[in-house]
């Protein structure tokens, strides 16, 4: 999924849904880091994408708090 599509998807969610997604992404990132250390990860790019998704969600949550 492209970043603009993800951004539209994230903007359409409520704060609670974004918070749940954030928790899931943090656990996914943690698992990917463990797998990377043990040599199980084939797609290293997935770690970078997960970090970017976390940043996008945090930004949207912050914007919604300001409004």
Per domain, the residue ranges of the chain are: 3-66
pLDDT digits (tens, 9 = 90+) for 40-52: 988 999 999 999 9
Q: How far apart, in Å, are the Cα atoms of 28 and each of 12, 40, 54, 57, 66? A: 22, 14, 11, 15, 28
Model pLDDT, residue 1:
67
Is pLDDT of 3 > 90? Answer: no
Model pLDDT, residue 6:
86
Q: What are phi and psi of 35, to 5 degrees?
A: -65, -35
Distance (Å, rounded) from C-alpha 59 to C-alpha 52? Answer: 11
Model pLDDT, residue 35:
94
Model pTM score = 0.88
Take residue 46 and report the two structure tokens written for it: 């997935």
Model pLDDT, residue 65:
87
Return mean pLDDT, the chain: 92
- Domain 3-66 part of CATH 1.10.287: yes
């Amino acid at each position: 999924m492209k970043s603009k599509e993800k951004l539209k998807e994230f903007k359409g969610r409520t704060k609670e849904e974004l918070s749940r997604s954030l928790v899931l992404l943090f656990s996914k990132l943690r698992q990917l880091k463990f797998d990377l250390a043990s040599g199980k990860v084939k797609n290293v790019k997935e770690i970078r994408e997960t970090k970017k998704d976390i940043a996008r969600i945090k930004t949207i949550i912050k914007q919604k708090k300001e409004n």
